[in-house]
């Protein structure tokens, strides 16, 4: 099935854009939400995290000890890379399993991931969308949504590729600057993806 990856910096509005695609009937795989779920559920992943970071990584009732893990990886790039090397393949496995549940008459799917480019998962997509918004707007949105300080948002932003770096890898763009209509931009891309998915069908190849 034709796969579209969608990403954007923190607060760019990628989830908001995905909701518009969902209204059009396009199933969306929210990789970051799934990643949080499989931290407790994927047996291989749980074993890998315990082995890498110690048994304290999980509480007695099997829940990930977020504070403990965040304390280790937040300022240690090597530890973060180690964690990502465990989590990303587990998310890929979850995506493959999810895709198998999608009915054949669905024209294409969307995979939303904050680290689509950083994780390399864009390579498994047929095309990609980058959602962008001006820096000040992103900052204000996240501060308001999460009730956090500008410094905390900036610290999170620093962990991601810049829009400039992401732009080099993206095939399509949605500007979510509260000036241009998201719906209009989504409808234009939706038509392009329907055409591309149609062209990929065995009868048309």
Minimal distance, residue 157 CB to ligand ATP, in Å? 10
Query: Between 11 and 107, whose beta carbon lies closer to ligand ATP?
Result: 11
Query: Between 18 and 46, whose beta carbon lies closer to ligand ATP?
Result: 18
The DSSP code sequence of 42-97 is -HHHHHHHHHHH-GGGB-TTS-B-HHHHHHHHTT-HHHHHHHHHHHHHHHHHHHHH
Is there a contact between 60 and 22 (Cβ–Cβ < 8 Å)?
Answer: no
Minimal distance, residue 149 CB to ligand ATP, in Å? 15
Alpha-helical (H) ranges within the chain are: 14-23, 31-41, 43-53, 66-73, 77-99, 135-146, 150-157, 163-169, 182-200
Query: Between 12 and 109, whose beta carbon lies closer to ligand ATP?
Result: 12
Is there a contact between 56 and 65 (Cβ–Cβ < 8 Å)?
Answer: yes
Minimal distance, residue 131 CB to ligand ATP, in Å? 6
Is there a contact between 22 and 165 (Cβ–Cβ < 8 Å)?
Answer: no
Query: Which positions touch ligand ATP (CB under 6 A)?
Result: 8, 10-16, 114, 141-142, 145, 176, 178, 182
Query: Between 147 and 202, whose beta carbon lies closer to ligand ATP?
Result: 147
Minimal distance, residue 106 CB to ligand ATP, in Å? 22
């Amino acid at each position: 099935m034709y796969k579209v990856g969608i990403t954007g910096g923190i607060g760019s509005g990628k989830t908001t854009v995905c909701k518009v695609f969902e209204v059009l009937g396009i199933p969306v795989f929210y990789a970051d939400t799934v990643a949080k779920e499989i931290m407790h559920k994927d047996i291989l992943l749980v074993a890998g995290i315990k082995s890498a970071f110690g048994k304290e990584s999980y509480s007695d009732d099997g829940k990930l000890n977020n504070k403990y893990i965040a304390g280790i990886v937040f300022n240690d790039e090597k530890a973060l890379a180690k964690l990502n090397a465990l989590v990303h393949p587990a998310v890929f496995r979850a995506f493959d399993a999810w895709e198998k549940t999608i009915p054949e008459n669905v024209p294409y799917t969307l995979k939303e991931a904050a680290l689509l480019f950083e994780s390399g998962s864009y390579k498994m997509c047929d095309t990609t969308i980058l959602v962008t918004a001006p820096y000040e707007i992103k900052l204000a949105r996240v501060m308001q949504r999460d009730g956090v300080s500008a410094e905390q948002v900036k610290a999170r932003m620093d962990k991601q590729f810049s829009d400039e770096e992401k732009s080099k890898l993206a095939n399509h763009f949605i500007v979510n600057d509260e000036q241009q209509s998201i719906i209009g931009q989504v409808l234009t891309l939706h038509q392009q993806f329907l055409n591309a998915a149609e062209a990929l069908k065995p009868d048309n190849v």
